[in-house]
Amino acid sequence: MPERQYLIDEITVRDSWRLFRILAEFVEGFETLAEVQPAVSIFGSARVSPGDPSYEKALLLAKILAENGFSVLTGGGPGIMEAANKGALEGGGKSVGLNIDLPAEQPPNNYANIRLNFRYFFVRKVMFVKYAVAYIIFPGGFGTLDELFEAVTLIQTKKIKPFPVILVGKEYWQGLLNWIKTILLEVKHISPEDLEIIQVIDDPHEIIKYIKRVIII
């Protein structure tokens, strides 16, 4: 067998087995998370610690969400994710950690009472979207921005039903919002109504009121 054909066959076999792993992650996710709705997905930096204002606000917000009957979904790691899982646990709710396997290991936090581990980012993203009635985005980096714009794009293109996408931390997000309004909107790369997808609310109690007012369960 020519070497090139051998390599093609080897890649095909590996890809076929990869499909089984992907399907297994979807099945495990669907079966495990079937009972968590209504749930709110919370995102933010893994690099903040207890005592940081964002950490403390995420903890309080998740606790209030749990007390109001919402499950809380996070990426299962440290920082904002840890704060949200801890708050949900303290509020007596379902605290879900959807951890991802990374080359630089992201250790799972100890506050999730429902845990799943994922190899594939895109499978994990489906779980966040499928079971969420709202996205809450705290200050964070590239991963946080990725989750934010994934949701906004799906809502903008009507691939999913609209749900609240709430930014927490007005000062942190103001530069990005100004760029969206003054650059993207001015050159007509987005429409004025697209701006309505994102809300900025800093007070945890106001966030709860807004979610309960606009969601359809």
Residue of 166, 143, 149, 172 lying closest to 52 (CA atoms): 172
Q: Taking residues 66-88, what's their average pLDDT?
A: 97
What are the DSSP calls for 116-127, one per residue?
EEES-HHHHHHH
Please state which CATH number belongs to domain 3-214: 3.40.50.450
pLDDT for position 9: 47
pLDDT digit string (tens) for 180-205? 999 999 999 999 999 999 999 999 99
Q: What percent of the chain has pLDDT over 70?
A: 93
pLDDT for position 12: 58
Q: Are 124 and 26 in contact (CB under 8 A)?
A: no
**E runs forming strands in 107-189:** 114-118, 132-137, 165-167
Q: Are 106 and 97 in contact (CB under 8 A)?
A: no
pLDDT digit string (tens) for 78-103? 999 999 999 999 999 999 999 998 88
Residue of 184, 192, 82, 92 lying closest to 138 (CA atoms): 82
**Mean pLDDT estimate for the chain:** 92
Local structure of residue 204 (DSSP, 8 states): H
pTM of the full structure: 0.91
| Positive or negative torsion for Cα 122, 163, 35, 57 | positive
**E runs forming strands in the chain:** 39-43, 71-74, 95-100, 114-118, 132-137, 165-167, 198-200
pLDDT class of 14 with cuts at 50, 70, 90:
confident
Q: List the domain boundaries for the chain.
A: 3-214
| Count of positions (residues) in the chain | 217
